[in-house]
Amino acid sequence: MAVFSLLVFTASWCPPCEGIADLVAQAAHGLGVTVETVDIDANVERAEHYRVNAVPTYLRLRGTTEDGRLEGIPSVRSLREFMLGGERGRPSLPG
């Protein structure tokens, strides 16, 4: 099981962010990942702390330390690989 959490930074004004809840749920299924969605407008200090400059942004955290970052709308497979530890958001699985 995973020993990390995933922060998903979104914004209400971001059209691509509207459909990511299902994407994240599919990718996280069975991994035991703690997922938290953070609205950058409601949590400005947190977004600044993690230097989030684009939405959606996915941060893989081990404790409070950033262990990986992925931006944009990945495929379910790419996001799952990222959750499993793909290096800094670059999936190791082909495709």
pTM: 0.85
> Which DSSP letter does residue 58 get?
E
Q: What is the pLDDT of residue 2?
A: 54
CATH of 5-89 given 3.40.50.300, 3.20.20.370, 3.90.199.10, 3.40.30.10: 3.40.30.10
pLDDT tens by residue, 63-91? 888 999 999 999 999 999 999 887 544 44
Spatial distance between the Cα atoms of 42 and 93, rounded to a whole number of angstroms: 35
Amino acid at 64: T
Predicted confidence (pLDDT) per residue in 6-41, tens digit: 999 999 999 999 989 999 999 999 998 899 999 999
The span from the CA of 84 to the CA of 36, in Å, is: 17
Burial class (CB in 10 A: 0-12, 13-18, 19+), 17: buried
Q: How many Cα atoms occupy the beta-carbon half-sphere of 59 within 13 Å?
A: 21
